[in-house]
Structure 1
């Protein structure tokens, strides 16, 4: 390498070099690899919605016990999200992302081999730990590779692989549950963990993170490789570098968590923690029980799975609409819209269930609910990593996700406790109130990040 050219690239700064790149097939291929891992992770997480009723019947569980089992994976996600964020900010995005895949693969396999409810619960915690690790790291990786003009859309599309994974889990359950049972499905979903080898070979470490921690030569080497692939994919010379970004502020790694409470980040952290907690309490409290609630209403197991799949199909246009609106309208108003829509639709679905309306009306209400719920997910995952600087992005995203898992842990259990007392109407009213509180928090304390480079938002 010519030393003068290398010095010129180093002085330009990673952020400036990344932000001027056009989106090409190369960046999309990296996104596709991360999204595929996310998809299989989402299938494992969504599976409990479709098999909870079968597990409840096999082990003779009460509603409260079933709620506790459904919540077990979220206990693991709480620990996984918090630890992975800090580890990724300290040791890098790529190695932690690979480790997370191993955890959820082993956890899924052991769930299929569990011989008691206690063992199943423990393995769900292990599975949840791996899933909790993967979510904030995948977000950070995509946020730091994709330029600002396309970042919101691609992070929202990444989150869209959650409803697709959820629906795939339902379809898989519908066809395979009568054949191999819920244990066989868990075992089958452990196989995609070998995808870790593709990640190891194809996905580079974040050059933004490498520059942040002072590994400038390695950052330059990886950035030069990205530029080479982008130029080859586009077939055109790259735009000139316009270095308008301030150099990264390198700080001691031990200060990462403290920085979440420093200056403007304190308000952002409080806002995100509250939104994640209430949004996930409502979401998982309702969706984890959808299949079981339909079974309780008198529908057969296969019918309840099929109806839940139908309802979940609305999540695909929901996240696509949200991804489009994020760039057209902005993060803050889109987030508030999706949360308010989720609140109204959840209440309507609860009323349809209470009054035993025809199944067509029940599914219609459910379609509206899932449209807004999956749109809400897209905004949360696009918005969260944008609010922190590179040096603490994994930590900030991880702890926001982790606090959300406290809501995820509480939601299914609260449903199990409330159901015998308040019925399905009370359960869905609880979910609607949770979404409404989250919407108010965003409207009062949220900041807009649309169209801004990560470094602009940080400063």
Structure 2
């Protein structure tokens, strides 16, 4: 990276005197592994907090209402952090963004063990900043979209969506690690020790991320910014033309740029789709056991087994939708998947309360609910230009926690008004899932091979 830094600090008069440092195959492979493990341990911390919140509540005498209040404020704070990280990553770079998000996750894991004892407000503040872990998913998508598009490896060009689906599968891997290690370690080191332990691998990945190379697209973006600030507008425009960058749009980069011109459509459409879909995720993924137990009167133990089996099917869904997105386009893949998910969950809610039927329909629902995210996150990166790729992606990505909050408020109002889980899951789960897929058809189709 030294040569890149040196190039950005020297004056040139010919645009072709400067070239971005290209990534070799081993650089792309290293980036893929770092992105995978960064996401695994970001999810580990994310799941760990939800898993241990009842234990922390028992330790500090927080009742269920207080715990729910903490979780809600943390979700709001996390959404703010996820939104704010986009412009930062468009300024400091993708490599720096990965280091910041996973490093911040590591720090917040360790601080959670300390700040919880200082009161609910410090805990909410720390866990809100831990929203960097959730934001890491969007940074991954931005970085790998550019890295894979810049690769000349024909094997990667044809399968980049499928390979990204393997990175995205870090969610179930991180969730399983969180559940397994918590069960193993909690009796011996307590909940504080579990958070400290979680910080270690995240910190190691943050250090290893220092060896990542910046994407060629962001190098070009940085170079254009440098030339423009140095008053070399002609050279900046020539460089933009050489690398097919819209110079006028590039000069207007920032949060506002995501809401004008060609970026407006993906910003609005994808934001609405994610908000609706996360309502379904809150109902059927986060609160899945409550739905199964309440609607079908199955035992809690059976509901846990259903959850494990269906999440394994959901993992296969990641790989399938990543593979399909490379062939029919990611917009079409996500739209069709989420609509099928909505129909599967509707059928599950209406079906007779037989274990085999519930397992089959719930698993099918999760296959089509979570699986399309392997295509969706990649599609987000493909939908915005380099100058605002992280910003646009962060705006869309931040709609997820907001959708979860909307679902939580909706479910609470239905149950408090005397309604049943069946109605709550239908209106705030199955229906939003179907509508999120329908909304996706309003997004601009991006031919997978057209992103360079």
Flag the 1:416–1:214 CA change in 2: closer, same or farther, 3 A.
same
Relative contact order (alpha carbons < 8 A, sep ≥ 6): 1 or 2 greater?
1
Match of 1:428 in 2: 425
For residues 121 and 186 of structure 2, the distance between their equivalents in structure 1, rounded to whole angstroms, comes to 22
Correspondence list, 1:205-284, <5 A: 205-214=214-223, 246-247=244-245, 249=247, 255-284=253-282
Equivalent pair of 2:44/2:177 in contact (CA under 8 Å): yes
Q: CA shift at 1:45, angstroms?
A: 2.0
TM-superposition CA deviations, 1:143-168 (whole Å, max 9, x none): 11113544323333322222222233
TM-superposition CA deviations, 1:253-290 (whole Å, max 9, x none): 66422222222221221111111111112212432223
Flag the 1:197–1:48 CA change in 2: closer, same or farther, 3 A.
closer
Match of 2:137 in 1: 135
Q: CA shift at 1:414, angstroms?
A: 3.6
* TM-score, normalised via structure 2 length: 0.79
Match of 2:92 in 1: 91
Flag the 1:29–1:9 CA change in 2: closer, same or farther, 3 A.
farther
Match of 2:37 in 1: 36
* Residue 157 (structure 1) aligned to one of 144, 166, 177: 166
For residues 244 and 326 of structure 1, the distance between their equivalents in structure 2, rounded to whole angstroms, comes to 29
Q: Secondary structure at the match of 1:452?
A: helix
* TM-score, normalised via structure 1 length: 0.78
Q: CA shift at 1:7, angstroms?
A: 11
For residues 143 and 436 of structure 1, the distance between their equivalents in structure 2, rounded to whole angstroms, comes to 27
Q: CA shift at 1:409, angstroms?
A: 3.0
Q: CA shift at 1:293, angstroms?
A: 5.6
Gaps of 5+ in 1: 219-242
For residues 302 and 197 of structure 2, the distance between their equivalents in structure 1, rounded to whole angstroms, comes to 23
Equivalent pair of 1:93/1:205 in contact (CA under 8 Å): yes
* Residue 449 (structure 2) aligned to one of 445, 448, 452: 452
For residues 274 and 336 of structure 1, the distance between their equivalents in structure 2, rounded to whole angstroms, comes to 13
- Compute the RMSD of aligned alpha carbons: 3.5
Match of 2:369 in 1: 373
Flag the 1:293–1:372 CA change in 2: closer, same or farther, 3 A.
same
Flag the 1:362–1:159 CA change in 2: closer, same or farther, 3 A.
same
169-178 or 27-36, which moves further after superposition?
A: 169-178
Q: CA shift at 1:170, angstroms?
A: 3.0
Q: CA shift at 1:451, angstroms?
A: 2.6
Flag the 1:299–1:449 CA change in 2: closer, same or farther, 3 A.
same
Q: Secondary structure at the match of 1:189?
A: helix
Aligned length in residues = 415
Gaps of 5+ in 2: 150-156, 228-240
Match of 2:232 in 1: none
For residues 19 and 158 of structure 2, the distance between their equivalents in structure 1, rounded to whole angstroms, comes to 18
